[in-house]
Amino acid sequence: MEQVQVPPTLALALVSVATGVLSPVLGKLSTLLENKYSSLTGVGDEILELQDELSSMNALLLKLSDIDDLDIQVKEWRNQIRELSYEIEDCIDDFVHRVEQRDPEKRKKMKGFFQESIHKLRTLGARSEIASKILKLKARVDHASERRKRYNFDGVPSSSSMVVPIDPRLPALYAEAESLVGIDGPRDELIERLAEGEANLVRKLKVVSVVGLGGLGKTTLSRQVYDRIGRQFDCRAFVSVSQKPDMRKILRNILTSVTGIEHYPGIEACDEEQLINKLRGFLNDKRYFVVIDDIWSTVAWPTIRCALLENNLCSRILTTTRITSVARSCCSPDYSNVYEMKPLSDINAGKLFAKRIFGSEDQCPSQFKDLSNDILRKCGGLPLAVISIASLLASKPCTKEQWESYRNHIGSALEDVPSVSNMQKIISLSYNDLPHYLKTCLLYLSMFPEDFVIPRDQLVRRWIAEGFISTCGGQRLEQVGECYYNELINRSMIMPATQEWDRRAVFCRVHDVILDLIVSKSAEEKFVTAVGNNNHTLGPQDKACRLSLDCRDQDNIVVSSSMVLSKARSFSIYGSSEHTPLLSDFQALRVINIEQNRKLENHYFDDIGRLVQLKYLTLQEVNISKLPDQIGELQQLESLELRWTGIKELPKNIVRLKKLKFLYASNVRLFEGIGNMQALQEVRYVKVDSSIPTTSLDELGNLAELRYLGIDWLVSDSSSDQKSYTDSFVSCMDRLCRFKLRYLNIACDVENGISLDFLLDSWSPPPCLLENFVMRSAYYFPRIPEWASLLSNVTLLDININPVRPEVLQVLGCLPSLLSLSLYTREVAPGATLIICSSGFQCLEEFEFYSWNIAMGPLVFEVGAMPKLEKFVFRLVARCIESPCGNFYLGLQHVRSLKHLLVDIDCRGANAEEVQITEAAIKNATDLTINHVRIDFSRLWMDQMAKDDDAGGMEGSEHRGGEGPAESSTKILLQQHFKIFPV
Ligand SMILES: *[C@@H]1O[C@H](CO)[C@@H](O)[C@H](O)[C@H]1NC(C)=O
Ligand SMILES: *[C@@H]1O[C@H](CO)[C@@H](O)[C@H](O)[C@H]1NC(C)=O
């Protein structure tokens, strides 16, 4: 076979979808040639030969991956080579491990193995049929590579010092897309459709069903309707159904939503029938509104419908689906309630498109007008298609040639009919356009279950553990991984699930249309095997390179016993399973992720020490209470997370983990020997109490790489040696801050008389370099600590102070870098009014103000206050609205930049009307701001609300539909209870 030149990416030795582990194998072969091993192997010649063969294959595989319609034989050939790469890697890893353990017995076997591999490779390469096919492909391969080169698709992964932030146009774009999908037109039409009949006192239940293609924005639209009218009902729920629906889960979700009880007692054990009965019992006398999003089959509907009973109280159900027959069966027999969702108009699609690429809706240069119209026509008004293609174009230099080439790829200009398949073409165009390293990272998302909110940091660490990421500049792997993540967001392949204060999107989701593509690609590439509902298996069933099990809804999911797991690199399981595959079936795992599994026992991990390549171990909501001492054998382990497990103590051998960077172990005491773990960058939630020696705190202070520390302070104020602990802690902090510590999260056990008072004055020198300071418990500083004014680098501050006096805001207002402030208090100092004036808080974007015991009253924004504030979160106590402290005066209209208001309403002791009045008052207040402010209410403790003793309550509910008498009486009540803004 012809020698192909090895591309520079090879030097980075990445694991990838295209080449499996070939690249790292090449790197490892070179290591074997080094002195340390070569005398042991005696197979120098074989290694050189193997390297030769493998590097040409590697290059060819990379090129083949640019062609999407390979024929079966070529695919098979490709798969065999990848498989072989895994075998070779395992063999080398094993060898190196043994050499390091001084166990030379392996040598003979090595020689035989290499000779065999070379032979296999040669036959694979030489089989004449394949060889001629590949020759023919070569022309196309070269063409594809040429194109990639021309557009600079590939390059080297953003290494060096380039940082990829999330495109600042994106948050605005998603907001825009939402408003284009729903506002005014369709949303109001749907609301009207739902309200029909109410006026004539028709009390029958009504079902309206939205039908339309995937990517059209059905979920967005129904969410808008839900937000707009949901609160007019006695109870409500918004529930998503997946393609493989699990009825119990859906019914449980409806039940927890309508009742507002998060942990409904005994609900896990209920079967379908019991759940239906509970729901019917609860809904019997309540006017309800339930949205069932994305129903896939007519089979699921009758069960749901059975639980949502006809109670003749004007209840409403809204369903969405892609399938017309499903929509009709939902509404049956009243087919006029099928609402066909329309695509975006040409004008709106154009706006969205231009906004994504040029940052403003009317800035499309004239020479691009025709091209953009062509492209938009193919999008068929589907917002998801518009955003995807626009994100693709935005990532490229803006040239006519480029645009033409993409237009031609979506399909011929003649077929003008917008269709689902255009959507798929666009999505797969976006996919094919990704550089290899991003394809790999993206396909890895098929390890997560459907509808999953994926935490960024865990995802990035798993990428790293799998070897998808490398770095050659000074950047840390985690930083490079975050750049990849942001690139995927910028290309609209994944969506930010929440917007955090610093816009870093720490959680993401995948649109189900895109997930379909990811899952099918990764099955086709034999990249991931995913087993889910009803034992349904996607991807290779004979051998798994990566195995993911979703048992969240069924505990009898079984992995076929003939599946070979010994080569698997990642193993994830979500939910409790009766049949969790045994760790002894695996040999090459890099990643173990076990979540929500209540059936595992301690002995499951007995053998874990065998998995010497393991780099990432996460157990979340797993019942085990102990890890074996063998954990110390895992010399490659970099990340160990134990969240909500029963583990209270780590095995002694933990301190042997010299490469461990991330340790998350809530509930665990700080331990002796931690000073040996010099690679540690994050240590979260260790307990410090007086049973540990103070020398452990001294050891902690030696961790020169530590960036993040989370501590639970449990040393009692009254204990005799408290001073020696606090002194050690303060000196430990001082040293850590001089090294790399930038994030501190601290809590204490207030109920047992423990406080952080010692930090008030004696924190010296103060931690001036901290960027984040977070307090987590019910402890309140009695005044603002002296050092607070010195935190000049702090961007996020979450602090408890009680009582809050005006000077607190003065001090905090002067912190020059502060972006996000959460201020918790029990009460504002009596008689004080907190005034936020125009001089402080110049860059603050997010402000959370929580006061527990009173309604918010005396917090006033003056003209020009918090000029950058976008998000304001506060808590109101609904019960208090009748008390004298309820003078509701915020001056919110003075916060010109405000976009989002989140209000937690404490419903305890209040009746339904009081809660409604409180919400109305806030809405009323925001009407006076200049922006369109989004408001989200959360009603807390709804189960502790006062019952209406008013027997006419039922009649009242008739009016709640809209602009009826209820509205005006609310206004009167408002004027009685609130001082509305002076005009
Ligand atoms: C999966 O397969 C096993 C064995 O074939 C069977 O016992 C189990 O009930 C199946 N589970 C589901 C949810 O179908
Ligand atoms: C933040 O810390 C750095 C040192 O790491 C220092 O150079 C810089 O001046 C600090 N910034 C502010 C705003 O104090």
* pLDDT for the residue 776: 85
Is residue 553 within 8 Å of 248, Cβ to Cβ?
A: yes
How far is residue 762 from each of residues 563, 765, 808, measured CA to CA in Å? Answer: 61, 8, 19
Cis peptide before 816 (omega within 30 of 0): no
Cβ(556) to ligand 1 under 6 A?
yes
Residue ranges of the domains in the chain?
A: 8-162, 183-340, 346-425, 434-527
Instruction: Please report the beta strands in 296-421, taking only residues with DSSP state E, as ranges in sequence order.
Output: 316-321, 338-340
Highest mean pLDDT range out of 119-123, 209-213, 333-337, 816-820? 816-820
Q: What is the mean pLDDT of residues 866-886?
A: 71
Is residue 852 within 8 Å of 826, Cβ to Cβ?
A: yes
Half-sphere exposure of 121 (CA within 13 A, CB side): 24
Measured by CA distance, the residue closest to atom 4 of ligand 2 is 769
* pLDDT for the residue 889: 52
For residues 772 and 416, which has the higher predicted lDDT (pLDDT)? Answer: 772
Q: Which of the ligands is closest to the CA of residue 816?
A: 2
Q: What is the mean pLDDT of residues 305-331?
A: 90
Measured by CA distance, the residue closest to atom 2 of ligand 1 is 558
The domain made up of 183-340 has a fold known as Rossmann fold (3.40.50)
Q: Which of the ligands is closest to the CA of residue 737?
A: 2
Compute how many other C-beta atoms are within 10 angstroms of the C-beta atom of residue 7.
17
* pLDDT for the residue 953: 33
* pLDDT for the residue 983: 22
**Distance of alpha carbon 618 from alpha carbon 583, whole angstroms:** 14
Q: Name the pLDDT band for 68 (thresholds 50, 70, 90).
A: low
Cβ(584) to ligand 2 under 6 A?
no
**Distance of alpha carbon 49 from alpha carbon 54, whole angstroms:** 9
Instruction: Quote the ligand 1 centre to 556 CA distance (angstroms).
Output: 6
Q: Which of the ligands is closest to the CA of residue 246?
A: 1
pLDDT greater than 70 at residue 906: yes
pLDDT greater than 80 at residue 885: no
Q: Which of 504-518, 683-697, 786-800 has the lowest mean pLDDT?
A: 504-518
pLDDT greater than 50 at residue 602: yes
Cβ(538) to ligand 1 under 6 A?
no
Ligand 1 test: best mutation among 536, 556, 576, 580, most atoms within 8 Å of CB? Answer: 556
* pLDDT for the residue 140: 58
Cβ(535) to ligand 1 under 6 A?
yes
For residues 627 and 371, which has the higher predicted lDDT (pLDDT)? Answer: 627
Nearest atom of ligand 2 to the alpha carbon of 816: 13
Compute how many other C-beta atoms are within 10 angstroms of the C-beta atom of residue 200.
7
**Distance of alpha carbon 275 from alpha carbon 250, whole angstroms:** 10
Is residue 799 within 8 Å of 775, Cβ to Cβ?
A: yes
Instruction: Quote the ligand 1 centre to 537 CA distance (angstroms).
Output: 12
End-to-end CA distance of the chain: 83
Dihedral, CA atoms, 49, 50, 54, 56, nearest 10 degrees?
A: 10
Nearest atom of ligand 1 to the alpha carbon of 554: 13
Q: What is the mean pLDDT of residues 676-691?
A: 94
Per the DSSP assignment, residues forming a β-bridge with 642 are 619, 665
pLDDT greater than 90 at residue 694: yes
**Distance of alpha carbon 926 from alpha carbon 924, whole angstroms:** 6
Tell me the per-residue pLDDT of 731-753, one tens digit each, with 9 for 90 and over. 999 999 999 999 999 999 888 88
Instruction: Quote the ligand 2 centre to 278 CA distance (angstroms).
Output: 58
Tell me the per-residue pLDDT of 481-539, one tens digit each, with 9 for 90 and over. 999 998 898 888 898 876 554 566 788 988 888 888 899 899 989 999 999 888 889 99
Q: Which of the ligands is closest to the CA of residue 562?
A: 1
The closest alpha carbon to 20, from 47, 53, 52, 57, belongs to: 57
Cβ(673) to ligand 2 under 6 A?
no
Nearest atom of ligand 2 to the alpha carbon of 817: 13
Global pTM value: 0.81
Cβ(769) to ligand 2 under 6 A?
yes
Per the DSSP assignment, residues forming a β-bridge with 935 are 901
Encoding tokens for residue 210?
């939205």
Compute how many other C-beta atoms are within 10 angstroms of the C-beta atom of residue 152.
10
* pLDDT for the residue 138: 58
* pLDDT for the residue 851: 76
pLDDT greater than 50 at residue 55: yes
* pLDDT for the residue 156: 42
The residue with tokens 């309630």 is 337
Instruction: Quote the ligand 2 centre to 816 CA distance (angstroms).
Output: 11
* pLDDT for the residue 979: 31
Is residue 766 within 8 Å of 787, Cβ to Cβ?
A: yes
Q: What is the mean pLDDT of residues 856-863?
A: 74
Instruction: Quote the ligand 2 centre to 295 CA distance (angstroms).
Output: 53
The residue with tokens 């390469």 is 125
Measured by CA distance, the residue closest to atom 10 of ligand 2 is 793
Is residue 53 within 8 Å of 115, Cβ to Cβ?
A: no
Half-sphere exposure of 437 (CA within 13 A, CB side): 26
Q: Residue 796 phi/psi, 5° resolution?
A: -125, 125
Q: Name the pLDDT band for 558 (thresholds 50, 70, 90).
A: very high
Instruction: Quote the ligand 1 centre to 207 CA distance (angstroms).
Output: 35
Is residue 76 within 8 Å of 120, Cβ to Cβ?
A: no
For residues 377 and 812, which has the higher predicted lDDT (pLDDT)? Answer: 812
Cβ(534) to ligand 1 under 6 A?
yes
**Distance of alpha carbon 784 from alpha carbon 807, whole angstroms:** 8
Instruction: Quote the ligand 2 centre to 793 CA distance (angstroms).
Output: 6
Measured by CA distance, the residue closest to atom 7 of ligand 1 is 556
pLDDT greater than 80 at residue 124: no
Encoding tokens for residue 230?
């949901």
Instruction: Quote the ligand 1 centre to 560 CA distance (angstroms).
Output: 10
Is residue 338 within 8 Å of 209, Cβ to Cβ?
A: yes
pLDDT greater than 50 at residue 307: yes
For the chain, the average pLDDT equals 81
Encoding tokens for residue 903?
């209000």
**Distance of alpha carbon 856 from alpha carbon 828, whole angstroms:** 9
Highest mean pLDDT range out of 80-89, 305-314, 461-470, 763-772? 461-470
Measured by CA distance, the residue closest to atom 12 of ligand 1 is 534
Cβ(554) to ligand 1 under 6 A?
yes
Ligand 2 test: best mutation among 741, 768, 792, 843, most atoms within 8 Å of CB? Answer: 792
Measured by CA distance, the residue closest to atom 5 of ligand 1 is 558
Q: What is the mean pLDDT of residues 838-861?
A: 79
* pLDDT for the residue 951: 35
Cβ(816) to ligand 2 under 6 A?
yes
The residue with tokens 């994305």 is 294
Instruction: Quote the ligand 2 centre to 771 CA distance (angstroms).
Output: 10
Cβ(132) to ligand 1 under 6 A?
no
Q: What is the mean pLDDT of residues 143-161?
A: 47
The residue with tokens 């068929």 is 380
* pLDDT for the residue 833: 77
Instruction: Quote the ligand 1 centre to 562 CA distance (angstroms).
Output: 15
Instruction: Quote the ligand 1 centre to 297 CA distance (angstroms).
Output: 22
Q: What is the mean pLDDT of residues 851-873?
A: 78
**Distance of alpha carbon 64 from alpha carbon 141, whole angstroms:** 6
- CATH number for the 434-527 domain, one of 3.40.50.720, 1.10.10.10, 3.30.70.270, 1.10.3720.10? 1.10.10.10
